[in-house]
Amino acid sequence: MIVILKNDPNPRQLENLRNWLRSMGLEIHESRGANSHILGLVGDTSGVDIDLISALDIVREVKRVQEPFKKASRAFHPLDRCVDVGGVPVGRGHFTLIAGPGTVTHRDQVLEAAARAKEAGVQIFKAAAFKPRTSPYAFHGLGREGLDLLLEAKKVSGLPVMSVMTSPEQLDLFSQVDLIELDHRAMQDYELLRALGKTQKPVLLRRGASATLEEWLMSAEYLLDGGNENVLLCDGGIRTFESNVPAALDPSCVPALRALTPLPVLCDPSVACGRAALVPALAQACAAAGCDGLVISASLDPQHALTEGPASISFDLMKTLSKRIGLLRAALEASHVQ
């Protein structure tokens, strides 16, 4: 951590600051120039609250040298993490397709969708029973009944399942769900993060609509610090000025996160782009950027069902896309070997 002082700091205040920093076990390297006076802090600064120091009259700015996260940091955990989701390995070279309809609506739908998903090459089936919605008047899912139907689909299809959890009180209800999905609006729901941190349940942690990579990893740190190492990150786009798409898919985050963290990184082009026509191109883009898997909205007869959002693709297209991505990844791997 580096503390940049204002010109001519009050000597008594400066001495107070030095003493306080030393009392936290930090060593101070001081560098003084014509226009700058800097304190370089050496030691474990993860416990130092950057805001407290910034508040001092004599301080111009404080800059971190190290990241504020540790358990999510590649610096401390260099090896790629691999998470087991109901027998399906995610991360460390594996590539995982998670797909399914937005919501469980009735028994036939979820059973048939799971069968079609399996046939299309999907490895983890997804559907929400508890559906966070911006409007109180929208359909919020079938709840417990929907979850039962999803678990029946799991049994029949043999695919592990992912579903959205919205409250710590649902933990028991989700005991047979293989992968807990946290909605992007819940990335900083610390109650939920702490509750899940105490379990060993795999968690898919979606990036908040305007979360920085650091904030996102700090939320992962809540899970990891609680003792749960089964964390997957999933980008579904970030909020920008551009109104052509609901959110701008951010493939830059894939290689950027690779450098910062060993956690698997997935991408969800469906929620980002908001319409089916863009999904294949963006799914390919994310795969080519090197992500560990994709989350895709796919449903039976998207054109006539009137029950799915405009980003849902058909399982036929899902199947084609799954093959294309396999070929694309093979081509990239082949060229690595050359």
Please report, as residue ranges, which positions from 42 to 71 form the binding site for its own copies (by CB under 8 A): 42-43, 46-47, 49, 51-52, 54-57, 61, 63, 65-66, 68-69
Q: Contact between 23 and its own copies (CB under 8 A)?
A: no
Question: Residue 131: CB partners within 8 Å, gap ≥ 6?
Answer: 102, 103, 139, 140, 141, 164
CB of 261 to its own copies, least distance (A): 12
CB of 182 closer than 8 Å to CB of 189: yes
Q: Does 231 bind its own copies (CB under 8 A)?
A: no
d(CA 196, CA 200): 8
Tokens 């797909």 sit on residue: 99
Q: Binding to its own copies by residue 265, rule CB under 8 A?
A: no
- The piece of 116-124, 149-157, 171-179, 301-309 that touches its own copies (CB under 8 A) is 301-309
Interacting residue with its own copies among 94, 288, 314, 317 (CB under 8 A): 288
Instruction: Out of 112, 278, 314, 319, point to the residue binding its own copies (CB under 8 A).
Output: 278
The string of DSSP codes covering 29-67 is EEEE-SS-EEEEEES--TTS-HHHHHTSTTEEEEE-SS-
Tell me which residue of 165, 105, 116 sits closest to 296, measured CA to CA. Answer: 116
Q: How far apart are CA 18 and CA 12, in angstroms?
A: 10
Q: Confirm or reject binding of residue 19 to its own copies (CB under 8 A).
A: no
Among 276, 294, 295, 318, binds its own copies (CB under 8 A): 276
Give the one residue of 8, 11, 23, 241 binding its own copies; rule: CB under 8 A.
241
Q: How far is the CB of 239 from its own copies (least distance, A)?
A: 5
Is residue 228 part of the contact set for its own copies (CB under 8 A)? no
Q: At what angle do helices 213-226 and 190-197 cross, to 10 degrees?
A: 40
